[in-house]
Amino acid sequence: MRLVPRWALLSSGCAPVLLIGGWTLAALLEGPAYDPATQTISVLAAYGAAGFWVMTGALLALGVCHLLTAWGLRPAALAGRVALAGGGVSALVVALLPPPRSGGSLHHGSVAVVGFTLLSVWPVLAADRNGAAPWGLRPVPSIAATALMSVGAGWFLVETHHHGAAGIAERLVTSIQSLWPFVVVASCLLRPDNDGPSN
């Protein structure tokens, strides 16, 4: 039996493509009034935004990708798989609770914070400490990934508070969060003991 099914490479690989493609297309539809350096992705997913359906669809697809990847990533510790799946559920809920066109939304913001947190801690929770794990599930890369995502999330909070480059900070941290599952899945599939018929 294959430890990680090959379809997990597709689900994890599609996550960053869908997210980045979604915000890129939604920003183009929004036009020059939208500043990706200072404005967040949530602005693109707000009611009345020109790219509302594009960004909402991208967030829904991202959530499904994370759920599928968590399901297929069998070598990861259960706590990490649950956290990754929770991040996927958070993306689905964020998509279903868009903020208003102006002003904030407590519900949207709260779910986004939960999602940011789960996707930041899942690498360290998924780590296998027995020393024989695939590269992406070893303690040092897992801790480094969690630390990088946490620093990025902190930077985003600082930029949001000071009305600075919140858009850049958010895009950086969400890009890393959406890419790391692909790195982990690829490291699992490259191991010779991941052979056998896929199920």
pLDDT confidence tier of residue 52, bands split at 50, 70 and 90: very high
Give residue-wise pLDDT tens across range 81-106.
999 999 999 999 999 988 776 666 67
Question: Is residue 149 included in any domain, yes or no?
Answer: yes
Q: Is residue 61 part of a domain?
A: yes
Residue 73 lies in a domain: yes
Q: What pLDDT, on a 0 to 100 scale, did the predictor assign at position 189?
A: 93
Q: Examine residue 198 and state whether it is found in any structural domain, yes or no.
A: no
Q: What share of the chain is helix, strand, coil (3-state, %, to 5)?
A: 70, 0, 30
Q: Which pLDDT score, from 0 to 100, does residue 132 have?
A: 77
Residue 167 lies in a domain: yes
199, part of any domain: no
Q: How far, in Å, CA of 31 to CA of 199, rounded?
A: 45
Domain of residue 169 covers 7-193
Q: In this predicted model, what pLDDT tens digit does every residue of 116-135 receive, in sequence order?
A: 999 999 999 999 877 678 99
pLDDT band at 173 (very low <50, low <70, confident <90, very high): very high
Ranges 6-10, 42-46, 66-70, 167-171: which has the least confidence:
42-46
- Domain membership of residue 120 (yes or no) is yes
Q: Is the pLDDT of residue 195 over 80?
A: no
65: nearest Cα among 22, 27, 128: 22
Q: Per-residue pLDDT tens for 5-30?
A: 999 999 999 999 999 999 999 999 99
Which pLDDT score, from 0 to 100, does residue 187 have? Answer: 95
Query: Which range in 42-51, 93-102, 143-152, 183-192 is most confidently predicted, on average pLDDT?
Result: 143-152
Both tokens of 114, joined, read 């939960």
Tell me whether residue 121 is in a domain.
yes
Q: What is the tally of structural domains in the chain?
A: 1
Average pLDDT over residues 189-199: 63
Inform me whether the pLDDT recorded for 193 exceeds 70: no
Rounded to an integer, the average pLDDT of 174-179 is 96
In this prediction the pTM is 0.91
The yes-or-no verdict on residue 1 having pLDDT over 50 is no
Q: For residue 37, is it left (φ>0), alpha (ψ between -120 and 50) or beta?
A: alpha
Confidence at residue 44, expressed as pLDDT on a 0 to 100 scale: 92
Could you give the CA distance from residue 102 to residue 90 in angstroms, rounded to a whole number? 22
Residue 188: CB partners within 8 Å, gap ≥ 6?
3, 4, 73, 75, 134, 136, 137, 194
